[in-house]
Chains A and B, each alone.
Chain A
């Protein structure tokens, strides 16, 4: 199985701050990487697909990038509504695997 090592596990940041979350894949997954945000009691919501493509309706302050097998989600100016847990997902091969999650809070 492909392992997705996500960091940090938790993060506290201030409003308007730049936030970066990373996922390291244990092998090449190409651009088969997505990012999700999950709020308490809700289903995960798609933010980024194909490593760098913004999902419909997602604010442009969210962006995704790739460097080899390391993938990053960047929030350029943190807003109150951005708190939650963020997950990466690889769909390069079965079983699809998720990162362990990053809990993002406001400082």
Chain B
């Protein structure tokens, strides 16, 4: 069955960067785009961007350009997102999701990022 297993929670200092992972299994990793979604505490969901593992092509929400970097390792079926120059506004849960054309169908369990000195 399709699974997306994300890395553990992170506590990072303001101004630092954090890199999180999303390991896919149960399907052909290179056939589907992977999206990343942010959920701030008690708030709705924001689409950050997407990456196509086969080519590395990316698309971003303008709001997250310069903040998020998306990469993949095809050999391990793992997608990565790095967030840079962290502030308290970046404290949130981050999800990776598989895109199935019209829908984000499978979601990882989420990574809680806390930015605090």
Interface positions of A (Cβ within 8 A of B): 31-32, 34, 43-46, 49-50, 55, 87, 89, 91, 94-101
Q: Which residues of B6-29 have CB atoms within 8 Å of chain A's CB atoms?
A: none
Could you give 20 example pairs across A and B, Cβ below 8 Å? Answer: A34-B104, A43-B95, A43-B107, A45-B107, A46-B103, A46-B105, A49-B103, A50-B103, A55-B105, A89-B45, A89-B103, A91-B103, A91-B104, A94-B47, A94-B50, A94-B59, A94-B61, A96-B35, A100-B44, A101-B44
Interface residues on B, range: 20 to 34
Residue in contact with B47 in the complex, picked from A31, A49, A55, A95, CB distance below 8 Å = A95
Given contacts A43-B95, A43-B109, A101-B44, contact A95 B61 (CB under 8 A): yes
Interface: B62 (CB within 8 A): yes
CB-nearest residue of chain B to A31 = B102
- The CA of A87 and the CA of B61, in the complex, are separated in Å by 19
Question: Given the complex, which residues of B lie within 8 Å of A101, measured CB to CB?
Answer: 44
The reply to whether A87 and B103 form a contact with Cβ atoms under 8 Å apart is: no
Chain A nearest Cβ from B112, distance in angstroms: 10
Chain B nearest Cβ from A41, distance in angstroms: 9
The reply to whether A32 and B46 form a contact with Cβ atoms under 8 Å apart is: no
Interface: B53 (CB within 8 A): no
Given contacts A34-B103, A95-B61, contact A87 B35 (CB under 8 A): no
Question: Given the complex, which residues of A lie within 8 Å of B63, measured CB to CB?
Answer: 95
Question: Given the complex, which residues of A lie within 8 Å of B47, measured CB to CB?
Answer: 94-98
